[in-house]
Amino acid sequence: MKIEFYLNNDLQDIEVDPAYRLLDLLRDDFGLTSVKEGCGEGECGACVVLMNGRAVNTCMVPAGSIVGKHIITLEEFKNTDRFKAIEKGFMEAGSVQCGFCTPGIVISTESLLNENPNPTDDEIKEGLSGNLCRCTGYNMIIKGIRLAMKKGEGLW
């Protein structure tokens, strides 16, 4: 089918199988490799992008359902001030080890803070619960988000 959607703020007009995974569309057709495949079934969060400002697992989104939607990947989000605050927070807290889950966690952090600029620790944990990390044990990611909130005060 023919679909129109916004990818990183540009209008796209493409011909696509409606069952094609958004994950494959972004990685294979648009070369957006910040989007990672970790499980292919919506459990790990490595393939998360923003769809109309909210985090979604692209492995679970069929291309047919993105008509008219705004998709933002890390390739675009990294140009924002909000990203810079998250980047600083994560660097300072040691939130990154192997890095494979990190792009998804950055996007989930944006989604969480966009909805709730002042989350409690429990709310942060809940907001992160769709993103698996096997390296850090999460404590330093939570700390990174807290630091990002401080560094980016007023941005969310």
Partner 1 sequence: MKENISKSIPRVDSKAKIRGEARYIADTEFENLLFARTIRSAKPKAKILSITLPEIPAGYFIVDKNDIPGKNRMRTVVSDHPIFAEDNVQYIGQPILLVVGEDREIIYDITSKIDIVYDEELPLLTLEEAEKTSAVFTDYHYDKGNPDEAFKSAKTIIEEEFSTGYQEHAYLEPNGIAAEFKNDVLMVYGSMQCPFYAKGALRETMDLSENKIRVVQSITGGAFGGKEEFPSLTACHVSVATKKSKKPVMMIYDRAEDIICSTKRHPSKVRYKAALDENENITALDIDVLFNAGAYNGLSPVVLQRGIFSATGVYNIPHLNVRGRNFMTNSVPSGAYRGFGAPQTIFGTEMLLHNIATKLGIDSLDYKMRHLLKKGDPTCTSGQIHDIVKMDEIINLATKNTDYYNKINTNKKYHGIGVSLFQHGCGFTGKGETMINGEIILSKSGHNVTLKVSSVEMGQGAETVLRKIVAYTLEISMENVSYTNPDTGMVPDSGPTVASRTTMIVGGLLRRAALEMKDRWKEADSFDVSKKYTHPNFLNWDDDKFQGDAYPVYSWGANVAEVEIDPVTYELTIKKLEGIYDVGVPIDERSLIGQMQGGIAQGIGWATIEVMEPQSGKLMQSNLTDYKVPTSMDVPEMNIDFISNPYEFGPFGAKCAGELPFVGAPPAVAAAVSNALGKPINHLPITPEKLMEIDNEN
Contact positions vs partner 1 (CB under 8 A): 33-41, 43-44, 46, 73-75, 78, 86-87, 90-92, 94-103, 106, 124-126, 128-129, 131-142
Residue 17 CB, nearest approach to partner 1 (Å): 10
User: Angle, to 10 degrees, between the axis of helix 81-93 and the axis of helix 102-115?
Assistant: 120
Q: Which is nearer to partner 1, 61 or 141 (CB)?
A: 141
- Judged on CB neighbours under 10 Å (0-12, 13-18, 19+), 150 is exposed
Least Å from the CB of residue 32 to partner 1: 9
- Quote the least distance from Cβ 72 to partner 1, whole Å: 12
Phi, psi of 55 (to 5 degrees): -70, 130
Report the residue number, 4 or 126, with the smaller CB distance to partner 1. Answer: 126
Whole-number minimum distance, CB 68 to partner 1, in Å?
A: 25
4/81 with CB nearer partner 1: 81
Calpha distance 57→133 (Å, rounded): 15
Q: Is the CB of 1 or the CB of 98 nearer to partner 1?
A: 98
The least CB distance from residue 20 to partner 1, in Å, is 11
d(CA 152, CA 118): 11
Rounded to an integer, what is the distance from CA 42 to the centroid of its chain? 13
Q: What is the DSSP letter of 29?
A: I
Rounded (5°) CA angle 90-109-82: 75
| Shorter beta-carbon distance to partner 1: residue 95 or 111 | 95
